[in-house]
Structure 1
């Protein structure tokens, strides 16, 4: 019985060189696709984490609203609520590494780059809407690739709390 290997002529040096070239092209194509998949997963994970941190900060602000006494009244952009939001973000990993040297630098970075607003409604069913806005486009974890503009410019977290009357 003849095996297949016995029936085929031996490969020449030229055909082996061509095969190496084909392997390099295949590697380049597969690597670029795998890199884009890995980059997409890392970018999505970073945006997802930042969004969760911003949403949690808004929830912590709403929780602070519900724990405040009915008097004195709650004002728009109350500093007690803004402080609760910033304290929540201080515990998260949203500040760039260059700004994490001291706690004071982290606080000032958050105060500069994160906006917390509180909208208050009065009367029956009084409530407060806490909105936290993080400028993600100014503080990206990974750089933006051309033709892949699916990352948001801002991340917004919003929470509503019923106020004590």
Structure 2
């Protein structure tokens, strides 16, 4: 037969639940904190990718020169990431590359496959550690990049 717990046994067990709660809470909080931080990072990354894609699509709209297409793509990409806070340094770059050989900034684009060009839009955001909650340095990047390319039509000037 089991003997019922005495008052001394109950007194020794006092606080055991608090210690268990503290240990489980630390693990739970660490996992939740990591999920929130990486969720924010992925949301920023997807926003950057969408902005780069918007800039690449803007290059398809008619512009009289190839330089005007580059300027329009860069402007649209910069406007698309204006939602990022001021603490983040962002830069947008639009370049024209040849499809064959991936040679960038070629002035001659044409309808032949070897002369086809693509617009490559790259958006870089630095100082992300100042924006996101602190994590160990190996877990949080300081820079994220969004990049998109769009094949220009053969009538590109």
Q: TM-score range by the shorter chain?
A: 0.7 to 0.9
Post-superposition Cα deviations, 1:21-72, rounded to whole Å, max 9, x if no partner, equal 3222211110000001101111111011000000001001101111132x32
Scaled by the length of structure 1, what TM-score is found?
Answer: 0.73
Unpaired runs of 5+ in structure 1?
Answer: 1-6, 96-108
Query: Separation in 1 of the partners of 2:74 and 2:14?
Result: 62
- More helix per residue: 1
Aligned twin of 1:47: 41
Compared CA separation, residues 126 and 19, structure 1 to 2 (3 A): same
Aligned twin of 2:58: 64
RMSD: 2.3
Q: How many residues align?
A: 138
Q: Among residues 76, 81, 89, which one is paired with 1:89 in the alignment?
A: 81
Unpaired runs of 5+ in structure 2?
Answer: 98-105, 110-114
Q: Which of 1 and 2 has higher RCO (CA within 8 Å, sep 6+)?
A: 1
Deviation at 1:149, TM superposition (A): 2.8
Do the aligned residues in 2 keep the contact of 1:120 with 1:128 (CA within 8 Å)?
A: yes
Post-superposition Cα deviations, 1:86-140, rounded to whole Å, max 9, x if no partner, equal 22123x4x32xxxxxxxxxxxxx38x71111112223311111100011222322
User: Which portions of structure 1, spanning 4 or more consecutive aligned residues, are displaced by more than 3 angstroms?
Assistant: none
Scaled by the length of structure 2, what TM-score is found?
Answer: 0.76
